[in-house]
Amino acid sequence: MTSQTLKTFLEENLQELKDNGLYNEIDEVQGPNGAKIQIDGRELINLSSNNYLGFATDEALIARANEATETYGVGAGAVRTINGTQTIHRELEEKIAEFKGTEAAIALQSGFNSNMAAIPAIVGKNDAILSDELNHASIIDGCRLSGAKIIRVKHQDMDDLRQKAKEATESGQYEKIMYITDGVFSMDGNVANLPGVIEVAEEFDLITYVDDAHGSGVMGKGAGTVKHFGLQDKIDLQMGTLSKAIGVVGGYVAGTQELVDWLKVRGRPFLFSTSLTPGACAACIEAIDQLMTSTERHDKLWENGRYLKKGLKELGFNIGKSETPITPCIIGEEKLTQQFSKRLNEEGVYAKSIVFPTVPRGTGRVRNMPTAAHTKDMLDEALAVYEKVGKELHIID
């Protein structure tokens, strides 16, 4: 290393994180990320992945990815606007638009990139963003990057939204005002009140932006939270990922043709970062095709979600107020939460702890993500481990 300054900076900061128990050791999964995973040679029931519908390991998706790789190559060879737009990219975008019920869609390399592209393309320094206080990090970063005035709105509080929309409008300081929210909040599993949002948005002519990373494939019989509320014609930007329920990688924004045309000339990650691989595009098309023709996986996901929730509740755990299959087990104190997760792991269940600063202090939780790929036997086995460890740590009686 040439720079002594960098060396000191890294050493000091890494040590500080380690001393405070904040250094995150990354687990290595030795094989596919399915309902069961192997870590350190041990097989564990996996309740921590976003592979909600089990598509990540689906044979039809793998076959489509391989086929497209043979046809188009492993890489797109350029950014979309040079010559990295292959037929498969157009086909994916048309498929997403059909799936979302919009005129058009733009596909990007990730959900994170989609927020980085779309938010600054729509609002800038003369504008304001009203942002739910529990929005995802990629929304927060996209908002910061835009240079717009960021106004935090109390979580899901429509009165606060109306009040702040009114103040921002009456101040006359902003050319445009946008409201942005997660469709499904992944820490608690609650769903955004989009009908309430639209009421306020119509009153104050707000631009509406929904990040439906956790709602797509899960809500609205698979089509997402916006479809769940029948608001496809009202929400201006429907952003989502191809990495969670769709099981692959990538992100998108769906909306009008004009919106997509604009994002294709102003979305910087679209303009300056190489396109999605052809194999990923093809696998996503296959997943969306399956989702549009059958609700089997979606129904199984919800059935498993209900089963796990009922089981944990009957054992006496606090599972919060989730409205989706996402099932938090709220433990409270941070150290106990981490210890609980560690013991679950030792007993064969992989369920990660989530503590401050990701969630408010004192609301540490182990978050469970049941998927369509879990069997009843796996969930029963997980519940037996929860009972054993919960009693051992005096979390339940």
- Supply the residues annotated as catalytic: 186, 214, 244
Report the Cα 119 to chain-centroid distance in Å.
16
Distance, C-alpha 72 to centroid of its chain:
29
Q: In sequence order, which ranges of 123-190 are alpha helices (DSSP H)?
A: 137-146, 158-171
251 binds ligand PMP, rule: CB under 6 A: yes
Which pair of structure tokens corresponds to residue 196? 């309430």
Select the residue interacting with ligand PMP from 146, 241, 277, 368 (CB under 6 A): 241
Site string for ligand PMP, 132-171 (x = CB under 6 A): ----x-x---------------------------------
The smaller minimum CB distance to ligand PMP, of residues 93 and 317, is found at 93
Site string for ligand PMP, 170-209 (x = CB under 6 A): ------------x---x-----------------------
- Shortest Å distance, C-beta 16 to ligand PMP: 26
- Residue 138 beta carbon to ligand PMP: minimum distance, rounded to whole angstroms: 4
Is 211 a binding residue for ligand PMP by CB under 6 A? The answer is yes
Q: Which of 49, 51, 102, 110 binds ligand PMP (CB under 6 A)?
A: 110
- Residue 247 binds ligand PMP, judged by CB under 6 A: no
141/289 with CB nearer ligand PMP: 141
Q: Which residues pair with 208 in a beta bridge?
A: 179
Q: How far is the CB of 247 from ligand PMP (least distance, A)?
A: 11
Please answer whether residues 214 and 248 qualify as being in contact, where contact means their C-beta atoms are separated by less than 8 angstroms.
no
Range in contact with ligand PMP (rule: CB under 6 A) among 66-74, 198-206, 211-219, 277-285: 211-219
111 versus 217: smaller Cβ distance to ligand PMP = 111
DSSP for 244-291 reads STT-S--EEEEE-HHHHHHHHHH-HHHHHSBPPPHHHHHHHHHHHHHH
Least CB distance to ligand PMP at residue 211 (A):
5
Are 164 and 206 in contact by the 8 Å Cβ rule? The answer is no
Among 118, 134, 213, 354, contact with ligand PMP (rule: CB under 6 A): 213
307-331 per-residue burial string, b: 16 or more CB within 10 A, e: under 16: bbbebbeebebebbebebbbbbbbb
Which of 128, 213 has the CB closer to ligand PMP?
213
Q: Which residue is nearest to ligand PMP (CB)?
A: 111
111 part of the interface to ligand PMP, by CB under 6 A? yes
Burial pattern 365-374, b for ≥16 Cβ within 10 A else e, equals bbbbbbbbbb
Considering the complex, state which of residue 215 and residue 390 has its C-beta at the smaller distance from ligand PMP. Answer: 215
- Integer angstrom CA distances of residue 166 from 12, 14, 141, 292, 340: 47, 45, 25, 40, 45
Number of residues in contact with ligand PMP under rule CB under 6 A: 13
Tokens standing for residue 275 = 């396109």
243 binds ligand PMP (CB under 6 A): yes
Residues 320-349 that bind ligand PMP (CB under 6 A): none
User: For residue 319, which of 328, 310, 311 has the smallest C-alpha distance?
Assistant: 328
List, as one string, the DSSP characters of 59-87.
Answer: HHHHHHHHHHHHHH-SS--SBTTTT---H
**Burial group, residue 274, by CB count within 10 angstroms (0-12, 13-18, 19+):** middle
Residue 336 tokens read as 């106990």
Q: Which is nearer to ligand PMP, 152 or 343 (CB)?
A: 152
Give the interface with ligand PMP as residue ranges (CB under 6 A): 110-112, 136, 138, 182, 186, 211, 213-214, 241, 243, 251
